[in-house]
Amino acid sequence: MSTYHRIVPNTWWLQRRPYILFMIRELTSVFVAGYCIFLLVLVYKLTQGADVYGNFMAAMKSPISVVLHLITLVFVLYHTITWFNLTPKILVVYRGEERIPQGLVAGTFYVGWLVISAIVAWLVLGV
Amino acid sequence: MAKSNEPIWWSLFSAGGMVAAMIFPILIIITGILVPFGLAGGDDSLNFQRIHKAISQNNSVKLILFIVISLPLFHWAHRFRFTLVDVGLKSMSTLISILCYGGAIAGTIVSAVIFWNI
C-alpha cells in the first residue's frame, strides 16, 4: 500500500493573495543575501587601498547602483515589517502570570529599530 | 527520533533575520541614497582613511561587522532552501541544503579572512 499524495502544482503560491505575499516574504531573503555580498565587496575593496575603494565609492553613485539599492530597500523593509510582526507570535513573553501582548512586543521592536538605526547612522556617518 | 541539525540552522536563521531587519534598512539608505546624493556629510564621512582606520584598528568593530555580514547569510540559506522545496524542488532537497548552507558557510569564511587580514 502506498501513501496517497495529493498533486500540488508548482505554481500553488500564485493562486491566492496570502500565498503570493508569503512567497514575496520568503524571497526578501535573496535581497538580504545580495546586500551581504555587497557589504563583503565593500570591505574587500577597503583592503585593496584608497584608489580601489575610491573607485567603488564612485560606482555607488551610478544610477544602476541607486536603482538596485532602492529595489533592495523595498524588499528588506518588507522583511523588517513582517519579521517584527511575526516574531511576537513565536517569542512569548510573560510578566508574572500575564502574557505580554503581542502588539507591545512588536512595538518594542519598532522602537528598538529606530534607536538602532539612529545609532548606526551616527557611527557610520560620524555626524 | 533521529537527532536533527534543525535547531542550529533555525537559530542562525532567526538571529540573522533579526540583524537584517534591524540594521540593513539604514545601511541601504546610507550606501544607496545618502552617499550617491551627497547627503552623507560631504565626502568626509565615508572616506578611505576614516573607514579604514575605524575598522583596521578596532577588533570589536571587525567582530561586529563580521557578525552583521555573516549571520544574515544563514538567514537567506534557511529561508531560500525551504522556498525552493516549496516551489517543487523537493526531490533535490539534499542538494539544495548543501548549496544554501554551504554558500552561507563559504561567505562566512571569506568574511572572516577579509576581516582577519585588514
CATH number at residue A24: 1.20.1300.10
Q: Across residues A77-91, what is the average pLDDT?
A: 92
Residues linked to residue A88 through DSSP beta bridges, in sequence order: none
Alpha helix segments (H runs only) across B1-118: 6-29, 48-56, 59-86, 93-117
**pLDDT surpasses 70 at B48:** yes
Q: Distance (Å) from the C-alpha of residue A124 to the closest C-alpha of chain B?
A: 7
| CA–CA gap between residue A13 and residue A75 (Å, rounded) | 18
Q: How confident is the model at residue B98 (pLDDT cuts 50, 70, 90)?
A: very high
| CB atoms B36 and A83 under 8 Å | no
Is A81 inside a domain boundary? no
More confident residue, B72 or A6: B72
Interface with chain A: mutation pick from B12, B24, B90, highest number of A CBs within 10 Å: B24
Is the ipTM above a cut-off of 0.85?
yes
Q: Smallest Cα–Cα separation from A76: which of B38, B98, B21, B113? A: B21
Is A126 a domain residue? no
pLDDT of residue A71: 98
CB pairs under 8 A between A and B: 160
Separation CA B26–CA B41 (nearest Å): 15
Do the beta carbons of residue A81 and residue B22 sit within 8 Å?
Answer: no
How many structural domains is chain B composed of? 1
- Whether A37 maps to a domain, the answer reads yes
Residue A78: which of A120, A32, A25 has the closest Cα?
Answer: A25
Query: Quick one: pLDDT at residue A53?
Result: 93
Nearest chain A Cα to B71, which residue?
A36
**CA dihedral over B28, B29, B30, B33, signed as positive or negative:** positive
* Domain count across chain A: 1
Q: Evaluate whether residue B93 is within a structural domain.
A: yes
- The residue range of the domain holding A18 is 1-71
Interface-testing mutation among A12, A14, A20, A29, with chain B (most B C-beta atoms within 10 A): A29
**d(C-alpha B70, C-alpha B68), whole Å:** 6
Residue A85 placed within a domain? no
For residues A78 and B38, give the distance between their C-alpha atoms in angstroms, rounded to a whole number.
Answer: 26
Phi, psi of A62 (to 5 degrees): -75, 150
> Ranked by mean pLDDT, which of A50-54, A114-118, B1-5 comes out on top?
A114-118
Domain that holds residue B56: 7-117
Residue B43 forms part of a structural domain: yes
Q: Inter-chain contact A40–B111, Cβ cutoff 8 Å? A: yes
**pTM attached to this predicted model:** 0.90
pLDDT tens for A67-76 read: 999 999 999 9
Position A122 in a domain: no
For the segment B50-69, the average pLDDT, to the nearest whole number, is 93
Is residue B16 within 8 A of residue B24, CB to CB? The reply is no
In a domain, A22, yes or no: yes
CATH at B62: 1.20.1300.10
Grid cell listed for B36: 550617491
Residue B107 has pLDDT above 80, yes or no: yes
Measured between CA atoms, how close is A99 to chain B, in angstroms? 22
pLDDT reading at B44 higher than 80: no
For the beta carbon of residue A5, count every other beta carbon within 10 angstroms: 6
Q: Examine residue B42 and state whether it is found in any structural domain, yes or no.
A: yes
SS3 for B85? helix
Does B2 reside within a domain? no
Smallest Cα–Cα separation from B23: which of A114, A53, A96, A66? A114
